[in-house]
Chains A and B, each alone.
Chain A
């Protein structure tokens, strides 16, 4: 089974801090994704990456950046955290190429910005 591991289940940070959320997958997947999940808004794609050092903006990239230095690791960075970034963050990975491959999700990081 694919395992996607997010470094923290719960995280509390302060406004203005630089925040790193880490995600690691163990299946050598090319594609990795970051979503945020908010009540009433569902899941929204922030960024995705289809290879090392490659990234693409999703639907809501503002205020975020990403890093993919190694194939198994995809980091989400909040450059200067704000209270409206309080949310559940979900990382996912997917195998090569074809769209019928499902995405596999981690358990999520619940981030609170105070």
Chain B
């Protein structure tokens, strides 16, 4: 079945460090890909999305490129801040015509000052 695999956390970085969170997927057809972020005690917020191959989603300094050849959607940020500390979820939808949003298990990021 369809699935999303993210790198295991937790990830701990110092402020201004470079961030990469790896995400790969297995899906039928041509899914849309998303990154969501969950701050402590809150629900999930959409961070960025890409709907077709080679699309780049970007928001708040975060970027991810939809790579069909490697079935990947890695999240990157050039310089993280303490306020970026959260749990990040990679997700896909539309695989095989399904309504379902399939999530990875999440990667917890802690940024220290």
Contact = CB atoms under 8 A, between A and B. Distances in A.
B43 interface: yes
Contacts of B31: 99
Contacts of B42: 107-108
A106 B49 contact: no
Interface residues of A, number: 25
B25 interface: no
Contacts of B34: 102
Interface in A1-54: 4, 6, 31, 33, 40-43, 45, 48, 50
A66 interface: no
A102 B35 CA distance: 10
Contacts of B51: 100
A83 interface: no
A61 interface: no
Contact of B46 (A40, A104, A106): A104
21 contacts: A6-B43, A31-B99, A40-B105, A42-B89, A42-B103, A42-B105, A43-B103, A45-B100, A48-B100, A90-B44, A92-B44, A99-B93, A100-B51, A100-B94, A103-B46, A103-B93, A104-B46, A106-B43, A107-B42, A107-B43, A108-B43
